[in-house]
Amino acid sequence: MERKKFGIGLLGTGWMGRVHSRGYESAREMFWPKSRWDVELRNVCGSSPGKGRDFAERFGYKASSADWHDLLADGDVAVFDNVTPDPLHVEPTIAAARAGKHIVCEKPLAVKASDAKRMLNEAERAGVKHLCCFSYRFMPAVRLAHNILRDGGLGKIYHFAGTYYQDQGSFEETPAEQVWYVAGSGVDQGIGTHLIDMSRFLLGDDITSVFGMKKTYNTRRDSRGGVRDIDATEGFFTMLEYSGGCTGMMQCLGVANGKQSEFSVEIFGSRGSLRWDMADPNILWMYQPETLTKNVRGWVKINCTEPDHPFMDIWWPKGHVLGWEHGHVNMLAHFLDCLAEGRDVSPLGATFKDGYEVASIIETINRSAEEGRKLPVSY
Ligand SMILES: NC(=O)c1ccc[n+]([C@@H]2O[C@H](COP(=O)([O-])OP(=O)(O)OC[C@H]3O[C@@H](n4cnc5c(N)ncnc54)[C@H](O)[C@@H]3O)[C@@H](O)[C@H]2O)c1
């Protein structure tokens, strides 16, 4: 079988740069021989020549630079992968679309919805394929939950409850630079976006209205030998209504002391319920009383590592669990499948359209929190 080979041009050498680089290599090895593509780590751009060179040597990129325009000028780069901090997602990605590169861009697609819309428009105009990295869609237990909901397994859906707790900002003494969401764009952009995408993906519904609340608990932090004012959101909460008629509630915290990174979702329907938690990512909990005999009625713990569970035909024998990283591997393999076979990235993968709609929803929640009232969502 002839394989199409795709050269990767990576912008950003931080920890997510490492995740994606390992992801392409792992996808190449694990999805072979089923895949109809091959992939080459072609060119990497760091914030200095030394950083780019070191990263290239470590992960096996053929070339490196300190100017992202070099990735666009490289004719062997077919896929431009942007893993820089949120504010740098916009302009290089738009330039990549104009240069005719297919694009992988980390979430949030952009902090401002208007920027995300420009990115979507440019990618569509260029006719390139685009992926926004909502990687949890590609964890086996999450995909199984998606399939159960798609097939009506929970009946009429009443409610989605989601929490994403982290604790990096809990200590007031931690300097601003060491708290990722203070140095970055707040917990709304960093982890709230994952919750919004997860609910849309699992329910298959649009969000129609929101009522938000947000909080910065530590408004001053040490910074570079002094103290500075902080306005990055540390607590982000919202009630939601969905087009299918169900309600939702989400809580996002960067100061949830003792919660390292706990992302959990629960969905309640007329015929049953589902529960998933990233702290135990292979397990999907399901309550479906009509499928059980009366005296053993209760929650069923599904270890999603059987060969017929999503993605598990290409991974390890049953019981040999996967982790967070595998969501990225499965997601990148899906994108390369779509390139090689001319298939749509959506609805299983998130595109720039999803990235734009999530940005609009986050913006509406923030506005709702400022105005203290429920607001409709429009795109
Ligand atoms: N999908 C997920 O689960 C997930 C998880 C964590 C982070 N993220 C997202 O991934 C992105 C990257 O996050 P990160 O934590 O790896 O950030 P990071 O700060 O660790 O790394 C970013 C890298 O970009 C480089 N960089 C900055 N400006 C540059 C420039 N002009 N040219 C070249 N390189 C430049 C920095 O030197 C750094 O190496 C963010 O958008 C973040 O929100 C996604």
Residues in the chain: 379
Examine the domain organization and report whether 97 and 156 are in the same domain: no
- Structural domain of 108: 4-135
- Among 316, 342, 366, give the residue marking a domain's end: 316
CATH number at residue 51: 3.40.50.720
User: Residues 201, 289: contact at Cβ < 8 Å?
Assistant: no
In angstroms, the CA 135 to CA 300 distance is: 25
Is 324 domain-assigned? no
Three-class secondary structure of residue 365 per DSSP? helix
Residues 6+ away with beta carbon under 8 Å from 115:
89, 90, 359
Is 343 domain-assigned? no
Structure tokens of 321? 């669990």
> Ligand 1: distance of its center to the CA of 14 in Å?
5
Examine the domain organization and report whether 146 and 268 are in the same domain: yes
159-209 pLDDT, tens digit per residue, is 999 999 999 999 999 999 999 999 889 999 999 999 999 999 999 999 999
Examine the domain organization and report whether 83 and 164 are in the same domain: no
Examine the domain organization and report whether 57 and 187 are in the same domain: no
Paired with 253 in beta bridges are 165, 235
Residues 6+ away with beta carbon under 8 Å from 302:
141, 144, 283, 284, 285, 286
Ligand 1 probe mutation, 19, 43, 47, most atoms within 8 A of CB? 47
* Domain total of the chain: 2
**How remote is the C-alpha of 267 from its chain's centroid?**
19
- Among 316, 344, 363, give the residue marking a domain's end: 316
At residue 373, the pLDDT reads: 98
At residue 294, the pLDDT reads: 79
Examine the domain organization and report whether 257 and 149 are in the same domain: yes
Ligand 1 probe mutation, 83, 135, 263, most atoms within 8 A of CB? 83
With a cut of 80, say whether residue 1 has pLDDT above it.
no
Examine the domain organization and report whether 112 and 177 are in the same domain: no
Is 175 domain-assigned? yes
Select from 157, 136, 159, 158 the least CA-distant residue to 148.
157
**278: pLDDT confidence band, cut at 50, 70 and 90?**
very high
Examine the domain organization and report whether 108 and 17 are in the same domain: yes
Residue nearest to atom 28 of ligand 1 (CA): 47
In angstroms, the CA 143 to CA 201 distance is: 9
At residue 332, the pLDDT reads: 98
328-379 pLDDT, tens digit per residue, is 999 999 999 999 999 999 999 999 999 999 999 999 999 999 999 999 999 9
DSSP assignment of 269-302: ESS-EEEEETTSTTEEEEE-GGGS-GGG-S-EEE
Is 34 domain-assigned? yes
119-170 pLDDT, tens digit per residue, is 999 999 999 999 999 999 999 999 999 999 999 999 999 999 999 999 999 9
Is the peptide bond prior to 347 cis by the omega test (within 30 degrees of 0)? Answer: yes
Q: Is the CB of 106 under 6 A from ligand 1?
A: yes
CATH number at residue 307: 3.30.360.10
Examine the domain organization and report whether 130 and 144 are in the same domain: no
Is 68 domain-assigned? yes
Examine the domain organization and report whether 117 and 201 are in the same domain: no
- Among 316, 345, 364, give the residue marking a domain's end: 316
At residue 269, the pLDDT reads: 98
